[in-house]
């Protein structure tokens, strides 16, 4: 048993006798104990089949206990006991005085099974080639890529029926396992098993004072992250030297915040103000890296220091019964005081991103006649960045208008349109740069996260309630981003999303619910295959066969349908739950090219089908005893040009099989017996 | 900046107008209703099932400053004398939490107690849920037994956010449907001033809560990591691996164009089985080399390969 779990149970046992209410006549105790077993077939085929679950053959168990008195409540719950996805929760409260919680949660993350490598000491921070040969795949070792996460901790809230309140929380998150790390150079590419040995400790503290008219809250968070491995050393099979890859660094993060709320102000208003300051630090020196350092390096020590400041204010009012308004302002500033690293070679210094964001907006909703509500709003945002020349600053103007109608008892209809205009200024310093130099091309690259654009979005939704026991909803969303000024980069992306769902409760015999969805996404982009020495201006129709313009058009379709049914076969005795789901994804990438050879379209572009069927029968043996029998079937097929005919050692590359085990067909059966009291 | 200053000035003017408005409160009409109170025993005579569920709920606890410590059923449903006098009936001179009842009116009933007793309600007035007329009983069962007051996640949230339900079922997703990440792990359903009511001042602060290994600080940063994780990732689910908004190499090439491979087209010929296989395309494409995509602390590396 893991040591964390031991402490969790020990803490739970300490809590129970502390409550005098145990001897109280009004005690209500209820709960359940469920034990059984699960068997599975096919789960070893692909890690994807049990990405976040433990589906191996194993005994299974769940339990719950609720202890309730007039003054005290204690709830204990455990699910999937003993498995890699087990979870425990204890919640307790003394009404009007305090409440607490303890939790322990394991999340497996299975990434890939049966990966292969020629490296020894997999799992350590030093990978050497011993006892196997890169050239002889039969000598490679097999391992699994997976990361196990354990989260445990507790919270305590104190109020004692006073306007003052106090909160404290502690939490530790541990992650260990292996994940793939791609690395290499022009001499060759290697996929390495990167060790994951992380621990994060979080400590939160908050307190405040509340009345009808106002409240104030002060809060603090301290979080420290540690990684047992600062660098991964590996023997380069192409160069025969030991190389060093940096891994996530240890860091310390602290955040201080204050919230203030004033209520019952003029016009039935509430004014909310919040501010916070955070600081993130880390440091390490060349001694930890152990590799040769570049000539002219200005500092052998890196001290990371990033701070942020935020301020938010919102004034929500209802000046009349028919009008709701909101005025808001948000400020966010990121300041990076980390060491700037420079060395010989020009252009190699770090570019530490800093930015300041102001957001100011106003929106209002007005109730019109006929149960119609008209809403609208405007938001202005300005972002000013340092060390990001392609998006030195941008100004966003967002407008929206919305109509909602509820004039019919059985129907709610909603229509919303929004328009965003973004103007971006670049600030490239290209003085003296030749039009034949690679650097010249940067002025034509406009990245879609900051580029100037116009966005139109339309949302339509209808909710229908034709019967008391039948709900039906349908919605459609259209979104189009048009990056008109872009020379190189994404020029347009358009999405259509159509969804519907329903829920039908046919008396006590049958519950039926389902959903369906269709999505279409299209993205177009412009690119330039530039060869050094040619004119680095993609606006000019090129004359060289080695430099040419090309475009890419991506189109993706996605369908999904799901159905759930709960049936009472024998009332209060036998119940059947059925669910099935099918989803399909079909993508395509087309090209046009001004180059000498045609580009072939990619028709297998994250194409997949997933079919899931599950059934569960619950049979009530006695008032306290129940039997559950269940079955789950899932089949997944995946086709993508990047993984077809996967090869571990194509020319100049050694792969390990990361994310290559896509397809699976899984059968899982389980039986449990549950005692309730 | 000029536009911004104009907007600030406009906002200050609005604020000045607002200050001249009269004070309105939501608790003004309470005392007159006390005249018609009949007591919970009378309610129980007709509404036995509802009373039984209420009696098991946290709202019935004497030590909770709620209905039981005030006027029991009538604390939330209003005085019952006229209702009884007229022979009862749904909505007959009684406040019922029915679907056709104004959502603000329903929430106001709850806010009389919870506005000052529940710290998470601080931002409710300015919240999107409040503005979208989502009332408390849309998510909470008001008569639920003690210990289970919190809505079942994600089912309750999926009831309205059907696009999130579909995203959470996609090929690559956060473990939401597996029950390992709740909606309230990332969102504050009772409101926050942040976009999408997230639990942090910014997207990356929220993501770094669980993904602390991505915090850095790094010598070499990747700007989207420091400003908005959603530039490359979908938050709930995606048809592409790692919850990417587009697959590699396209999501990378939409931003990176340069000499050599960033500007090179990778078509059907460049897969394992193609006529010109390229390790810039097959398998994990760009990530085959640029493994330190979230940042690097190697002293000599600005291409995020070490």
Chain segment A429-440, per-residue pLDDT in tens: 899 999 888 889
pLDDT of residue A518: 98
Would you list the domain boundaries of chain B?
Answer: 39-150
The model's pLDDT over A18-52, given as tens digits with 9 standing for 90+, comes to 555 444 557 889 999 999 999 999 988 899 999 99
pLDDT of residue A8: 62
pLDDT of residue A486: 94
Query: What is the rounded (10 degree) CA torsion for B250, B251, B256, B260?
Result: -30
Q: Write the burial class of residue A97 (CB in 10 Å: 0-12 exposed, 13-18 middle, 19+ buried).
A: middle
- Cα of A397 to nearest chain B Cα, Å: 10
Give the Cα separation of B27 and B108 in Å (integer).
9
The model's pLDDT over B114-125, given as tens digits with 9 standing for 90+, comes to 877 788 888 888
Q: Which of B23, B99, B226 sits opposite A264 (nearest CB)?
A: B23
Give the Cα separation of A271 and A317 in Å (integer).
9
pLDDT over 90 (residue A59): yes
Query: What is the rounded (10 degree) CA torsion for A448, B211, A348, A340?
Result: 120
- Cα of A373 to nearest chain B Cα, Å: 10
Contact status of A83 with chain B (Cβ, < 8 Å): no
Give the residue-averaged pLDDT of A245-252.
94
Determine which of B14, B125, B170 to mutate to test the interface with A (most A C-beta atoms within 10 Å): B125
pLDDT over 60 (residue A384): yes
Provide the β-strand partners of residue B8: none
Contact status of A261 with chain B (Cβ, < 8 Å): yes
pLDDT of residue A478: 98
Give the residue-averaged pLDDT of A198-226.
95
Contact status of A626 with chain B (Cβ, < 8 Å): no
pLDDT of residue A312: 93
CB contact under 8 A, B64 and A96: yes
Q: Of A18-32, A90-104, A106-120, B91-105, which has the strongest mean pLDDT?
A: A106-120
Give the Cα separation of A207 and A219 in Å (integer).
6
Q: Write the burial class of residue A462 (CB in 10 Å: 0-12 exposed, 13-18 middle, 19+ buried).
A: middle
Please give the residue of chain B at the shortest CA–CA distance from A339: B219
CB contact under 8 A, B259 and A531: yes
Q: Which of A107, A182, A360 sits opposite B284 (nearest CB)?
A: A182
Average the pLDDT over each of A66-70, A257-261, A399-403, B154-158 and give the range with the smallest value.
A66-70
Confidence class for position A90, pLDDT limits 50, 70, 90: very high
Please indicate whether residue B113 or residue A660 has the higher confidence score (pLDDT). A660
CB contact under 8 A, A475 and B162: yes
Confidence class for position A7, pLDDT limits 50, 70, 90: low
Q: Write the burial class of residue A574 (CB in 10 Å: 0-12 exposed, 13-18 middle, 19+ buried).
A: middle
Give the residue-averaged pLDDT of B106-111.
89
pLDDT over 90 (residue A584): yes
Give the residue-averaged pLDDT of A185-203.
95
Give the Cα separation of A639 and A609 in Å (integer).
9
CB A472 within 8 A of CB A567: no
Confidence class for position B20, pLDDT limits 50, 70, 90: low
- Cα of A602 to nearest chain B Cα, Å: 5
CB contact under 8 A, B14 and A647: no
Q: How far apart are the first and last CA of chain A?
A: 28
CB contact under 8 A, B61 and A95: yes
Q: Kindly list the residues from chain A whose CB atom is less than 8 angstroms away from the CB atom of residue B27.
A: 212
Please give the residue of chain A at the shortest CA–CA distance from B3: A380
Burial B189-201 (b: 16+ CB within 10 A, else e): bbbbbbeebbebb
In this prediction the ipTM stands at: 0.93
Please give the residue of chain A at the shortest CA–CA distance from B270: A642
Secondary structure string (H, E, C) spanning A333-365: EEEECCCCCCCCCCCCCCCCCEEEEEEEEEEEE
- Cα of B42 to nearest chain A Cα, Å: 23
Please give the residue of chain B at the shortest CA–CA distance from A612: B169
- Cα of B230 to nearest chain A Cα, Å: 9
Give the Cα separation of A177 and B160 in Å (integer).
37
The model's pLDDT over A505-536, given as tens digits with 9 standing for 90+, comes to 887 788 999 999 999 999 999 999 998 888 88
Determine which of B254, B272, B282, B303 to mutate to test the interface with A (most A C-beta atoms within 10 Å): B254
- Cα of B199 to nearest chain A Cα, Å: 13
CB pairs under 8 A between A and B: 415
pLDDT of residue A9: 62
pLDDT of residue B34: 56
Give percent of chain A above pLDDT 90. 75
The model's pLDDT over A626-655, given as tens digits with 9 standing for 90+, comes to 999 999 999 999 999 999 999 999 989 999
Q: Kindly list the residues from chain B whose CB atom is less than 8 angstroms away from the CB atom of residue A600.
A: 267-269
Contact status of A628 with chain B (Cβ, < 8 Å): no
CB contact under 8 A, A608 and B306: no
Please indicate whether residue A456 or residue A595 has the higher confidence score (pLDDT). A456
- In order, the DSSP letters of A68-136 are E-SSEEEEEEEESTTSTT-EEEEEEEETTTEEEEEEEEEEEEEEEEEEEES-BSBTBSEEB--SSBTTB
pLDDT over 80 (residue B103): yes
pTM of the model: 0.91
Provide the β-strand partners of residue A671: A37, A629
Ramachandran region of residue B285, left (φ > 0), alpha (ψ -120 to 50) or beta? left
Please give the residue of chain B at the shortest CA–CA distance from A300: B299
The model's pLDDT over B52-63, given as tens digits with 9 standing for 90+, comes to 888 888 888 877
Give the Cα separation of B272 and A177 in Å (integer).
29
- Cα of A53 to nearest chain B Cα, Å: 8
Q: Kindly list the residues from chain A whose CB atom is less than 8 angstroms away from the CB atom of residue B279.
A: 184, 189, 650, 652-653
Q: Kindly list the residues from chain B whose CB atom is less than 8 angstroms away from the CB atom of residue A150.
A: none
State chain A's mean pLDDT as an integer: 91
Give the Cα separation of A198 and A149 in Å (integer).
9
Confidence class for position B30, pLDDT limits 50, 70, 90: very low
The model's pLDDT over A276-325, given as tens digits with 9 standing for 90+, comes to 999 999 988 876 666 667 788 888 889 999 999 999 999 999 999 899 99
pLDDT of residue A21: 46
CB contact under 8 A, B212 and A659: no
pLDDT of residue A466: 86
- Cα of A335 to nearest chain B Cα, Å: 11
Determine which of A178, A282, A396, A642 to mutate to test the interface with B (most B C-beta atoms within 10 Å): A642
CB contact under 8 A, B257 and A165: no
Confidence class for position A542, pLDDT limits 50, 70, 90: low
Q: Kindly list the residues from chain B whose CB atom is less than 8 angstroms away from the CB atom of residue A536.
A: 259
pLDDT of residue B283: 96
pLDDT over 80 (residue A663): yes
Please give the residue of chain A at the shortest CA–CA distance from B301: A348
State chain B's mean pLDDT as an integer: 85
Q: Which of A441, A606, A642 sits opposite B282 (nearest CB)?
A: A642
The A residues from 416 to 435 touching B (CB cutoff 8 Å) are none
pLDDT of residue A159: 86
- Residues A515, A519, A523: CA angle, nearest 5 degrees: 165
pLDDT of residue A291: 64
- Cα of A550 to nearest chain B Cα, Å: 8
- Cα of A619 to nearest chain B Cα, Å: 24
CB contact under 8 A, A652 and B126: no
Contact status of A21 with chain B (Cβ, < 8 Å): no
């Amino acid at each position: 048993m893991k040591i964390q779990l031991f402490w969790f149970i020990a803490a739970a046992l300490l809590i129970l006798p502390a409550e005098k209410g145990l001897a109280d006549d009004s005690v209500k105790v209820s709960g359940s104990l469920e034990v059984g077993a699960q068997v599975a077939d096919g789960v070893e085929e692909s890690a994807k089949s049990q990405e976040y679950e433990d589906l191996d053959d194993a005994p299974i168990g769940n339990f719950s206990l609720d202890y309730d008195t007039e003054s005290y409540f204690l709830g204990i719950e455990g699910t999937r006991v003993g498995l890699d996805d087990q979870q425990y929760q204890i919640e307790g409260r003394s009404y009007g005085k305090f409440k607490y919680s303890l939790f322990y949660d394991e999340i497996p993350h299975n990434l890939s099974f049966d990966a292969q490598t020629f490296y020894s000491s997999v799992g350590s921070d030093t990978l050497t080639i011993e006892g196997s040969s890169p050239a002889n795949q039969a000598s490679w070792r097999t391992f699994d890529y997976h990361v196990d996460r354990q989260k445990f901790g507790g919270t305590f809230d104190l109020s004692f029926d006073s306007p003052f309140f106090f909160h404290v929380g502690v939490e530790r998150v541990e992650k260990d396992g292996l994940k793939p790390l791609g690395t290499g150079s022009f001499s060759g590419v290697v996929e390495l098993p990167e060790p994951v040995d992380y621990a994060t400790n979080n400590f939160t503290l908050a307190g405040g004072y509340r009345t009808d008219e106002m409240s104030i809250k002060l809060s603090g968070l301290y979080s420290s992250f540690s990684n047992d491995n600062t660098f991964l050393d590996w023997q380069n099979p192409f160069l025969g030297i030991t190389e060093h890859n940096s891994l996530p660094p240890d860091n310390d993060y602290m955040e201080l915040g204050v919230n203030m709320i004033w209520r019952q102000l003029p016009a039935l208003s509430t004014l909310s103000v919040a501010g916070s300051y955070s600081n993130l630090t880390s440091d390490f020196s060349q001694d930890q890296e152990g590799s040769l350092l570049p000539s002219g390096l200005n500092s052998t020590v890196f001290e990371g220091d990033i701070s942020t400041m935020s301020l938010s204010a919102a004034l929500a009012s209802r000046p009349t019964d028919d009008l709701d308004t909101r005025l808001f302002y948000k400020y966010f500033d990121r300041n990076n005081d980390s060491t700037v690293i420079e060395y010989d070679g020009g252009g190699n210094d770090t570019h530490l991103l800093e930015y300041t964001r102001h957001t100011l907006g106003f929106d209002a909703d007005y109730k019109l006649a006929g149960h119609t509500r008209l809403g609208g709003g405007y938001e202005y945002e300005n972002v000013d960045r340092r060390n990001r020349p392609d998006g030195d600053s941008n100004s966003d103007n967002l407008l929206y208008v919305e109509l909602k109608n509820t004039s019919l008892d059985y129907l709610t209809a909603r229509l919303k349109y929004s328009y965003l205009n973004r103007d971006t200024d670049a600030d490239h310093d290209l003085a003296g740069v030749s039009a034949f130099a690679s650097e010249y091309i940067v002025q034509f690259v406009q990245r879609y996260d900051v580029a100037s654009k116009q966005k139109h979005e339309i949302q339509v939704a209808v909710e229908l309630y034709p019967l008391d026991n039948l709900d039906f909803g349908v919605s459609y969303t259209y979104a189009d981003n048009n990056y008109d000024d872009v020379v190189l980069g994404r020029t347009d992306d358009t999405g259509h999303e159509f969804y519907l769902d329903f829920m039908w409760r046919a008396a006590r015999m049958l519950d039926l619910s389902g959903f369906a969805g269709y999505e279409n996404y299209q993205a177009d982009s412009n690119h330039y295959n530039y060869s050094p020495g040619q004119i680095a201006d993609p606006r000019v129709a090129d004359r060289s066969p080695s430099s040419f313009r090309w475009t890419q058009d991506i189109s993706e379709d996605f369908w999904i349908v799901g159905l759930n049914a709960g049936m009472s076969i024998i009332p209060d005795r036998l119940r059947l739950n059925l669910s099935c789901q099918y989803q399909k994804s079909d993508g395509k990438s087309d090209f046009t090219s001004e180059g000498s050879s045609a580009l072939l379209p990619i028709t297998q572009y994250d194409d997949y089908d997933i079919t899931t069927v599950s059934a569960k029968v619950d049979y009530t043996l006695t008032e306290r005893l129940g039997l559950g029998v269940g079955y789950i079937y899932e089949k997944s097929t995946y086709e993508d040009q990047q993984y077809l005919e996967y090869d571990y050692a194509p020319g100049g590359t050694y792969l390990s099989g990361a994310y290559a085990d896509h397809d699976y067909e899984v059968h899982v059966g389980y039986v449990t017996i549950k005692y309730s009291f | 900046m000029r536009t911004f200053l104009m907007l600030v000035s406009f906002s200050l003017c609005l604020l000045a107008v607002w200050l001249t408005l009269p004070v309105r409160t939501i608790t003004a009409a309470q005392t007159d209703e006390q005249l018609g109170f009949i007591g919970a025993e009378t309610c129980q005579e007709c509404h036995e099932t509802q009373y039984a569920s209420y009696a098991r709920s946290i709202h019935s606890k004497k030590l909770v400053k709620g209905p039981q410590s005030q006027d029991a059923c009538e604390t939330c449903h209003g005085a019952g004398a006229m209702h009884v006098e007229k022979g009862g009936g749904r909505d007959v001179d009684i406040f019922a939490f029915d679907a056709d009842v104004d959502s603000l009116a329903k929430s106001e009933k709850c806010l009389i107690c919870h506005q000052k007793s529940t710290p998470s309600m601080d931002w409710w007035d300015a919240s999107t849920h409040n503005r979208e007329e989502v009332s408390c009983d849309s998510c909470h069962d008001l008569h639920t037994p003690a210990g289970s007051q919190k809505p079942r996640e994600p089912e309750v949230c999926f009831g309205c956010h059907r696009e999130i339900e579909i995203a959470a079922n996609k090929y690559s997703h956060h473990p939401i449907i597996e029950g390992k990440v709740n909606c309230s792990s990332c969102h504050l359903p009772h409101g926050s001033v942040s976009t999408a009511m997230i639990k942090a001042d910014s997207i990356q602060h929220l993501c770094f809560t669980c993904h602390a290994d991505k915090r850095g600080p790094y010598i070499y940063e990747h700007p989207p990591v420091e400003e908005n994780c959603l530039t490359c990732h979908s938050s709930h689910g995606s048809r592409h691996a790692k919850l990417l908004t587009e697959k590699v190499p396209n999501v990378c090439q939409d931003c990176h164009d340069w000499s050599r491979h960033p500007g090179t087209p990778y078509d059907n010929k460049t897969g394992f089985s193609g006529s010109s296989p390229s390790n810039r395309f097959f398998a994990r494409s760009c990530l085959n080399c640029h493994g330190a995509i979230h940042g690097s602390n190697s002293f000599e590396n600005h291409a995020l390969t070490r």
